[in-house]
């Protein structure tokens, strides 16, 4: 039993050394990600790549950029869908958009946009509400591979049944198929939806703010960060957000333990949408 505990401790130390090596070699800092998440993803990569130990993985990734790219993708948060959590998008449509309609122009920041499905979901919602042409969307992620997929707007046709159901539940006003064309095993979404989208390689851990945005969407990203990093990212969002602007978080995320919580009101408690107070 004691021997097993020692081995687990050794493995944890090896993971900490790997994290330090990644920061030193590639300038990506995962030190404030939740350790359990990092460990789970690295163990999976060990199995897939048939690597015997974390120590061996560290040596390989320092010499093999392809392996590092695979690990970077593993550590990215890439779980997403079109109109993921349809109730959230319906809440945005029915409660946030009427306020955005009063503005002469709109800026939206999708932080941790992954492969772009939720960005397109927002673009479709804005189009149906007559706001797409006066909106600039900044879609950011630290992983260039997922940004490349997002820019193309091409997805497997096998997703369409589920995504159509999500769209309908989110209050969609048209036929979902109006927004894409089928091409064998894939669908290609209309370029009009991403004409006003700027895809940016941006790291929430190390990069700066985007100025004067009206709405920030960052869903199911903070749960992978420890409290220190959550606080830092939420401070970054607050600095980027206009007074009276909105933040939409994931269903398991909130501002309750953060020092900036007094700057916000609960705009939609159920769907974790917060509004920055005018005086803050």
Residues 71 and 185 in one domain: no
Distance between CA atoms of 176 and 153, rounded to whole angstroms? 15
> Residue 208 belongs to a domain with what CATH number?
3.40.50.150
Residues 184 and 239 in one domain: yes
pLDDT tens figures, 168-223: 999 999 999 999 999 889 999 999 999 999 999 999 999 999 889 999 999 999 99
Is 39 contained in some domain? yes
Residues 103 and 145 in one domain: yes
User: Stretch 100-110: mean pLDDT, rounded?
Assistant: 97
Residues 58 and 101 in one domain: no
Is 80 contained in some domain? no
- What pLDDT, on a 0 to 100 scale, did the predictor assign at position 5? 46
User: Is this model's pTM higher than 0.85 or not?
Assistant: yes
Q: Enumerate residues 6+ apart whose C-beta is below 8 A from 236.
A: 204, 208, 209
User: Stretch 55-64: mean pLDDT, rounded?
Assistant: 92
pLDDT tens figures, 208-261: 998 899 999 999 999 999 989 999 999 999 999 999 999 999 988 988 766 788
Residues 100 and 67 in one domain: no
Residues 22 and 104 in one domain: no
Residues 63 and 140 in one domain: no
Residue 7's domain comprises 2-75
> Are the CB atoms for 54 and 15 separated by under 8 Å?
yes
Q: Choose among 169, 165, 161, 176: nearest CA to 91.
A: 169
> Are the CB atoms for 239 and 220 separated by under 8 Å?
no
pLDDT tens figures, 139-161: 999 999 999 999 999 999 999 99
- Assigned token pair, 172: 């969609």
Residues 52 and 117 in one domain: no
Is 41 contained in some domain? yes
Residues 167 and 253 in one domain: yes
């Amino acid at each position: 039993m004691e021997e097993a505990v020692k081995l687990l401790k050794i493995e944890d130390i090896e993971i900490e050394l790997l994290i330090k090596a990644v920061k030193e070699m590639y300038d990506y800092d995962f030190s404030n990600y939740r350790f359990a998440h990092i460990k789970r993803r690295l163990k999976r990569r060990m199995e897939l790549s048939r690597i015997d130990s974390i120590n061996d993985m560290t040596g390989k990734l320092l010499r093999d950029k392809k392996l590092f790219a695979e690990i970077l993708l593993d550590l990215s948060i890439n779980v997403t869908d079109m109109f993921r959590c349809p109730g959230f998008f319906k809440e945005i449509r029915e409660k946030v958009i009427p306020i955005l309609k009063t503005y002469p122009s709109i800026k939206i920041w999708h932080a941790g946009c992954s492969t772009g499905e939720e960005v397109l979901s927002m673009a479709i919602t804005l189009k149906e509400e007559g706001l797409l042409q006066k909106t600039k969307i900044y879609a950011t992620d630290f992983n260039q591979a997922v940004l490349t997929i997002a820019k193309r707007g091409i997805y497997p046709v096998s997703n369409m049944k589920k995504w159509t159901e999500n769209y309908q539940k989110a209050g969609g006003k048209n036929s979902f198929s109006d927004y894409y064309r089928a091409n064998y095993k894939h669908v290609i979404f209309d370029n009009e939806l991403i004409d006003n989208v700027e895809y940016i390689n941006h790291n929430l851990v190390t990069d700066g703010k985007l100025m004067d945005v009206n709405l920030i969407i960052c869903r199911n990203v903070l749960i992978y960060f420890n409290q220190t990093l959550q606080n830092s990212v939420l401070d970054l969002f607050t600095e980027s957000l206009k007074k009276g602007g909105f933040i939409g978080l994931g269903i398991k995320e909130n501002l309750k333990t953060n020092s900036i919580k007094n700057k916000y009101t609960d705009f939609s408690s159920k769907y974790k949408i917060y509004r920055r107070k005018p005086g803050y």
